[in-house]
Structure 1
Amino acid sequence: MSLYRRLASQTSIIFAGRLFGAGVVFVVQALIARTWGPTILGEYLVIIATANLAAVAMPLGFQTIGTYFAAEYRAHARRGQLVGFLARAYGHIVLVFAALLVAGQPLLSAFGLGEGTVARHFLPVALLAFGTTMVFVNGAVLVGMKRPFAGFFADTLFRPMVVIAAFLGATAFVPDMEAAFTAMLWAVGCGYVAICLVHFGFVVATVRAVANDGPAAEGREARRWWRFALPWVLIALATDFFFDIDLLLLSSLLTREELAIFGVCTRVFSLLSFGVAAVYAVTMPDMFESEARSDRAGFNRKVGEANLVAGGLSVLLLVIVAVAGPFALMLFGPAFSAGAVPLVILCLALVLRSLLGPASLVLSVHDRPYASLPAVGLGIAALVGGNFLLVPRFGLMGAALAALFAISLWSGALWWTALKTAKVDVSILQRWRRTGENAALEPSVR
């Protein structure tokens, strides 16, 4: 099977799993609101957000580079270095988790949060954070080891199933509302830990299958891990939390109703962008194999095929959003129909980002991770400026146009940086140009 067909099939399955998991989470949140009331739902969302933020901090950035280094060490047959990397990543998790157990509640009390919902459910929250961060690291490594289904499905499928099972069990067997909510949190926390341990077993089995033709990890390699971790943490924050930053900026520029509408649009965009990101995550191990063999033609071909699949998927999602978006937004209430056009504009940004290619990934493959940071900073600055110029005059449309401008400028700057720094054209134009050159050569070959 050719690479682009494998990308299309694997990405479709992963994206379908993500949609199913997102639907399960949506249903659970709706059931919590209807069964226990909006106050309990608010507490639940605070707990999940707190656990997620703690999970991001626990590996000290190593979850953001797990796919990169797992793919590299697999391609170069260096199991010793991979084991050293994993020992450091999981060691961070264990140490930070222990510190959280010891100092977590005193810190909450020191900040006046000793009676809050997180403090009242501290141990389940800690278990949630531990299980979540383990799944982050496990998943990143498994994707880099060319096991994308095992890497993604623990988070996208099994964790949502644990949540809905915990809710149904708590409501069925615990009559008191507060006690049922507490039982649900304990069940979810223990379930997350069970998932992460099974997931970790897949990591161990996969790592054992890697050849070991290279030296074990040394101090120089550990310094390289940190050199990659810092820029990728910043890149991940600017990408994964781009619209969280945007919503904070817009909180003083939009009405609360407009902010809610735009928030729904950004959540839909984030879900759709996951499908595009999965294409490049699946491609990374193949890129490293070409780079390890110094096969520049193969490397460019794989980047081009990934762009073709990502671009085609983003265009398809744009068409679906344009047709079905207004009806989906109406499910939230009549006022949310105002978000239909802004949502289409956001999806245009996804198309442009896909067509310009995975520049940050390619820069890291060429050992230039810091080269991405100026473009990231330019995108955030453009977002801030665009919001203050466009939102007061155009409202929701201004917010969408500011995001489109920022993402387009950011993606274009990254493409230019990769072209000038790594001498690689990561855009889809590279594939079309190469196809044209091959077609022009055919007559002379004959």
Structure 2
Amino acid sequence: MKRLIKLLPKPLRQLVGAGFGGDGEDARSRRGAGLAFGIRVVSAAIAFLSQVLLARWLGSYEFGIYTYVWVWVNIVGTLCTLGFAISAVRFLPDYAGNNQNELARGFLLFGNAVSIGTGLVCTAAGLMLLFLFDGVIAEYYWLPMALGLVILPAFAGIDFQDGIGRAFGWIDLALVPPYIIRPILLFAFIGLAVGLGWGHSAETAVLAAIAANWLTLAGQYLVQRRRLNRLIPPGPRAFRLPLWAKVSAPVLLLEGFTLAMINLDIVLLDIFVDPDQIAIYFAAARTISLIGFVHFSVNAACMARFSASYAKGDAGAIRTLFAASRNWTLIPSLAGAGVMLALGDPILWLFGAEFTAGYPLMFVLILGLLARAAVGPAQGLLVVTGHQNLTAGVMAVTVGCNAALNLLLIPQFGLMGAAMATTTAFALESLSLHLAARRMLAAPQHLAPSAGSQAAAE
């Protein structure tokens, strides 16, 4: 990133250098967050363009079917890593930093095998369920769902390799494949389908997603393997499956709850509304959620630092970084919220004239996103410092509230009810995580490495 700063004009270089210059740990974290944010901004533009073209090409009804299937692929595919994509951030820096290459190799092999293997099992199980319960699921979902199941192993493999990149601070390798390469490939394959005259259907879009995910997995693996071989040369492997499972299992629950918080509104809307209404809600929710990239980027840049400081027992560094990261998250999010609300109506119009009906939803949904931004990377901090059980408990309660509110409010208020329920749940989640993080930071014993972490370092 320093090389990029040097290419800017002098006045702009001085301004940017004030924020991203320097050689200290804070400066490196800011540059990491800036790089992650830049990648997400570019990926958001690519993903947004592809979704706009998809909506225009498919129409709101078929686009609603595609987005509903993709939400389920995202949920199940992420869970197929069984928590190893996140626990990689805790174990790999520890093993690499203490020259425990055998354990690092073992974790890398096992994590990849678990992620892709579980994806294959879920694909087979899902196809079996679709055939056994044919007629239960709506006919227009059946074939897109069946095709979507083929994506699961690739999606899980990409997600685990994303975790490896974050663990070693390789923000480019962690984020570019899933958030830039995959959307570009999806866009390219959809263009190819259009050129070949394929039908304007959700099935065609899912076929393009299959090709995009499997090619992304292959390319990401090859590039990452070369970089890993320089850091951790090939050699014998060691395994600590009980320890890895003990840490990853609560993380799996946490990931499930997090995915439910993000996607529960769309999943439950299917009970009450038609696919075209789901498409309108999806467009509004995903458009306003672009400001969430700030929170995501800061979290991606800080998790490895939190993990390294925790392994060393450096409570002061953890407190300092967490305090700074909250400012890095909230201030840009507030600015982004203003821009997104000002431009929301014309942005939604790009999807199609009928999508502007979702504009009022954005004013409600933004409140929940700002609540999350206000607490910074509290969830990531709690997880990497060994408080994943507490975090999972908090998320379980808020997911339950989210589901209850959606089921109560959607029948009464339709799409606006889903927005109100989701925002209320986000606010409750943010308040709970903030209080948990404050309690942990106030007690020195909570910032000392646990026995599990120490065992990992032995």
Deviations 1:372-421 (A, max 9, x none): 12321332344345557766777666554443332222211122223334
Structure 1 position 143 matched with structure 2 position 166: yes
**Closer/same/farther in 2, CA of residues 148 and 287 from structure 1, 3 Å limit:** same
Provide the residue aligned with 2:41 in structure 1: 16
Q: State the percentage of identical aligned residues.
A: 21
Provide the residue aligned with 1:435 in structure 2: none
Q: Is the CA contact (8 Å cut-off) linking 2:119 and 2:156 kept in structure 1?
A: no
Structure 1 position 316 matched with structure 2 position 335: yes
Match of 1:60 among 66, 82, 85: 82
Equivalent residue runs for 1:40-439 within 5 Å:
48=70, 51-96=73-118, 99=121, 105-112=127-134, 125=148, 128-172=151-195, 174-175=196-197, 177=199, 189-210=210-231, 217-219=238-240, 222-249=241-268, 261-331=280-350, 339-384=358-403, 386-387=405-406, 399-421=418-440, 423=442
Deviations 1:85-135 (A, max 9, x none): 222222224434554676665543222279978987899756533322211
Counterparts of 2:305 and 2:151 in 1: how far apart (Å)? Answer: 33
Residue 367 of structure 1: how far off its partner (Å): 1.5
**Closer/same/farther in 2, CA of residues 53 and 249 from structure 1, 3 Å limit:** closer
Residue 31 of structure 1: how far off its partner (Å): 5.6
Residue 151 of structure 1: how far off its partner (Å): 0.8
**Closer/same/farther in 2, CA of residues 253 and 134 from structure 1, 3 Å limit:** closer
Counterparts of 1:177 and 1:253 in 2: how far apart (Å)? Answer: 28
Which has the larger displacement, 402-411 or 385-394? 385-394
Q: Is the CA contact (8 Å cut-off) linking 1:253 and 1:391 kept in structure 2?
A: yes
**Closer/same/farther in 2, CA of residues 138 and 27 from structure 1, 3 Å limit:** same
Q: Is the CA contact (8 Å cut-off) linking 2:65 and 2:202 kept in structure 1?
A: no
Counterparts of 1:328 and 1:179 in 2: how far apart (Å)? Answer: 23
Provide the residue aligned with 2:455 in structure 1: none
Match of 2:58 among 8, 18, 33: 33
Counterparts of 1:335 and 1:326 in 2: how far apart (Å)? Answer: 11
Provide the residue aligned with 1:431 in structure 2: none
Residue 83 of structure 1: how far off its partner (Å): 1.8
Question: What letter corresponds to residue 44 of structure 2 in structure 1?
Answer: L
Residue 49 of structure 1: how far off its partner (Å): 5.1
Counterparts of 2:270 and 2:207 in 1: how far apart (Å)? Answer: 34
Q: Is the CA contact (8 Å cut-off) linking 2:66 and 2:202 kept in structure 1?
A: no
**Closer/same/farther in 2, CA of residues 119 and 73 from structure 1, 3 Å limit:** farther
Question: What letter corresponds to residue 113 of structure 2 in structure 1?
Answer: G
Structure 1, unaligned runs of 5 or more: 426-446
Residue 197 of structure 1: how far off its partner (Å): 1.9
**Closer/same/farther in 2, CA of residues 422 and 207 from structure 1, 3 Å limit:** farther
Q: Is the CA contact (8 Å cut-off) linking 2:288 and 2:362 kept in structure 1?
A: yes
How many corresponding residue pairs?
Answer: 416
* 3-state SS of 2:330 partner: helix
* 3-state SS of 2:442 partner: coil
Counterparts of 1:261 and 1:180 in 2: how far apart (Å)? Answer: 16
Question: What letter corresponds to residue 220 of structure 2 in structure 1?
Answer: H
Provide the residue aligned with 1:434 in structure 2: none
TM-score by length of 2: 0.75
Counterparts of 2:419 and 2:203 in 1: how far apart (Å)? Answer: 38
Question: What letter corresponds to residue 419 of structure 1 in structure 2?
Answer: R
* 3-state SS of 2:151 partner: helix
Q: Is the CA contact (8 Å cut-off) linking 2:143 and 2:203 kept in structure 1?
A: no
Q: Is the CA contact (8 Å cut-off) linking 1:3 and 1:305 kept in structure 2?
A: no
Residue 22 of structure 1: how far off its partner (Å): 1.2
Counterparts of 2:115 and 2:337 in 1: how far apart (Å)? Answer: 39
Deviations 1:63-101 (A, max 9, x none): 343334334434444332222222222222443455467
Q: Is the CA contact (8 Å cut-off) linking 1:7 and 1:306 kept in structure 2?
A: no
Counterparts of 1:149 and 1:397 in 2: how far apart (Å)? Answer: 37
Question: Could you say which structure has the greater relative contact order, defined with CA pairs below 8 angstroms and 6 or more residues apart?
Answer: 2
Q: Who wins on radius of gyration, i.e. which is larger?
A: 1
**Closer/same/farther in 2, CA of residues 97 and 350 from structure 1, 3 Å limit:** closer
* 3-state SS of 1:60 partner: coil
